[in-house]
Structure 1
Amino acid sequence: MIQDRKLEHLSICKNYDVNYKKSTGFEDIELIHRALPEINKADIDISTKAFGKKLDSPLFISAITGGHPFAEKINKELSIAAEENNIALGLGSQRAGIENPELTSTYTVARDYAPNALLLGNIGAPQMKYAEDAVNMLDADILAIHLNPLQESIQPGGDVDARGYVESISEICDLVDVPVMVKETGAGICAEDAVKLQRAGVDFIDVQGSGGTSWAAVETYRTDDRLLGEAFWDWGIPTAISTVEVCSSVSIPVVSSGGIRTGLDAAKAIALGADAVGMALPFLKAAYKGHDTIVDYVNKFNESLKLAMFLVGARNIKDLKESDLVIRGETKEWLNDRGFNTKKYSRRSNIDG
């Protein structure tokens, strides 16, 4: 049953090491320190309006859970924190709640406790029949469509027929009356697919690159035959690389997620072109500990983002997106081999400024 699988996913993410063994690539990104920032840190504005509502921080609590009675408590805690801090919140795949009304409250609890927050609904690419119900269930501001070919490939009985995804996504964009975001689930999005998504009518993209939670790892713990899962544990495009590929190829707002853990990671992602960043696993673990732990995590994230912005002289998110940085190592090699000019990031500011 779907709800049993949802509970297994929660338990595995809480109790096992499901992180990628390779990195996000952000260790290869170096922001250029400004010894003369010429700004007051207290005046730094980290708000964003890129996603239809003004958010006090570019932090998204990425899609985590729903579809099991236990998930209701987690989503309640996350919703209260999202409302209090005016940040965005994504819910897990809503298929379980649409097919089984007894599970609907594990999703609707989000709007109950976050009446003003930016909420993201969630369905799979081939699930067009669920699109309108998913939006209505949450009074969602954005409908997210998740892509998870890696997870489906490792998951016992997974759906590995991905024909017609682009057409389905395009039809969903025409069907619903809210903006649509397409998100990967931890293996990243390349430039070519990002262009296809924008042409299909998608309003936002969440790269969800590799380096954070590996769903191949999660599914590995659910099967006795671990050969496939262990072989593909680290499959995917590292988050920093996926962020550059997508931001350099489309003109729609982009969320960078996948292994981002601090405001410094976020600053690097935004300087690479992202409009916001997402995190899931840290918030799932914080939710088990309660409201105060979640809020403390948000506060520490925001403070470290402001500190990074202060050190590069960025007064707001727009300034941060124009900050100078250097791309090094394997990340530079990958991007250069793929035809992306990494030098364009290193001297964007006025040398006399």
Structure 2
Amino acid sequence: MISDRKLEHLMLCRNNDVEYRKKTGFEDIEFIHKALPEVNKEEINLSTDFFGKKMDAPIIISAITGGHPASLKINRELARAADKLNIGMGVGSQRAAIENPELAPTYTVVREEAPSSFLIGNIGAPQIELAEKAADMMDADALALHLNPLQEAIQPEGDVDATGYTESIEEISKNLKLPVIAKETGAGISGQDAHTLEKAGVSAVDVAGSGGTSWAAVETYRAKDRYLGDLYWDWGIPTAISTVEVCESVNVPVISSGGIRTGLDAAKAIALGADAVGIALPLLKDAYIGHEAVITRLEKFKEELRVAMFLVGASNLEELRNSDIIIKGITREWLHERGFDTKKYARRSLQ
């Protein structure tokens, strides 16, 4: 059953090593320090508008769970933190609750606890018939269409027929009255795919690159034969690289997620062009303790972001996006091979 699988995923993410062995690529991104920042750190503005809704920081609690009674507490605690901090939040795939309405409270609790937050519903990209029901259930501000071919390929009961995905996304984007966000689930999105998604009508792209939770790793623990999952544990486009590829390929908002663990990671993602960042696994573990633990982590995260902005002389997010950064190492090599000019990031403040 889908509900049982949801619980299994929660337990595996909480108790096992499910993160990528390779890194996000943010270790290859360096800011140019400003000895004369000319800003007051206490006056730095982290707020942003996302589809017309103001958030006090460019942070979204990424899709984590829902669809099993045990997930109600998790979503409640996460939503309380989102409400307190006025940030965004997404939920896990809602298919389980559409098929079994008794599970709906595991999702609707989010809107109850965060009545004014930017909330993102969630269904699979090919699930056209579920889109409107999912959005209505959540009173959502946007709907994520998740893309998870890697997980499906490793999952024992995975659906590996990915034909018609683009057509489905196009139909949902055309008919739904809410913004549609195309979201990977940990393996990243290339520039070409991002361009295709934008042409299909999506309103935003969440890159969800590699470096955070590996769903090949999660499914490895569930599979009888673990060879395949172990082989593809590190498959994907690292988050920093995917962020550049997508930001340079589309003209819609971009969420950078996948292994973002600190406010410095977030600062680098935004400097690469992202409009917001998503965080999942660390907050899942905090949610088991309670919303206060989630808030404590996120307040620290915001302070780390604020310090990075201070050190590059950025008083707001737009100035951070125009700060000077160096792209080096494997990330630079990858982007060069893909035809992206990394030098332009290094002297933006002089243009």
TM (normalized to structure 2)? 0.99
What's the offset of the Cα at 1:51?
Answer: 3.0
CA-based RMSD of the aligned residues comes to 0.7
Residue equivalent to 1:71: 71
What's the offset of the Cα at 1:176?
Answer: 1.0
Amino acid at match of 1:245: E
Distance 1:251 1:176 in 2: 20
Distance 1:127 1:224 in 2: 28
Residue equivalent to 1:329: 329
Give the 5 Å matches for 1:1-353: 1-350=1-350
What's the offset of the Cα at 1:116?
Answer: 0.5
Q: Deviations over 1:277-311 (max 9, x none)?
A: 00100110010111210110110010000000000
Amino acid at match of 2:166: V
Distance 2:111 2:350 in 1: 45
Amino acid at match of 1:105: P
Secondary structure of the 2:348 match is coil
Distance 1:290 1:106 in 2: 16
What's the offset of the Cα at 1:52?
Answer: 2.5
Distance 1:223 1:118 in 2: 36
Amino acid at match of 1:140: A
Distance 1:239 1:270 in 2: 12
Instruction: Point out where structure 1 has 5 or more consecutive residues left out of the alignment.
Output: none
Amino acid at match of 1:184: E
Distance 2:201 2:71 in 1: 32
Amino acid at match of 1:53: K
Distance 2:79 2:136 in 1: 17
Distance 1:80 1:181 in 2: 23
Q: Deviations over 1:29-62 (max 9, x none)?
A: 0011000000000110011113320000001100
Amino acid at match of 2:126: P
Distance 1:174 1:98 in 2: 21
TM (normalized to structure 1)? 0.99
What's the offset of the Cα at 1:350?
Answer: 2.4
Q: Deviations over 1:225-244 (max 9, x none)?
A: 00100000000000000000
Secondary structure of the 2:144 match is strand
> Which contiguous aligned blocks of 4+ residues in structure 1 show a shift greater than 4 angstroms?
none
Amino acid at match of 2:154: I
Distance 1:135 1:161 in 2: 25
Give the percent of matched residue pairs that are identical in Structure 1 and Structure 2: 66
Instruction: Point out where structure 2 has 5 or more consecutive residues left out of the alignment.
Output: none
Amino acid at match of 2:128: M
Q: Deviations over 1:287-339 (max 9, x none)?
A: 01112101101100100000000000001000000000000000000000000
Secondary structure of the 2:288 match is helix
Secondary structure of the 1:97 match is helix
Q: Deviations over 1:142-182 (max 9, x none)?
A: 00000000000000020011111011001001121110100
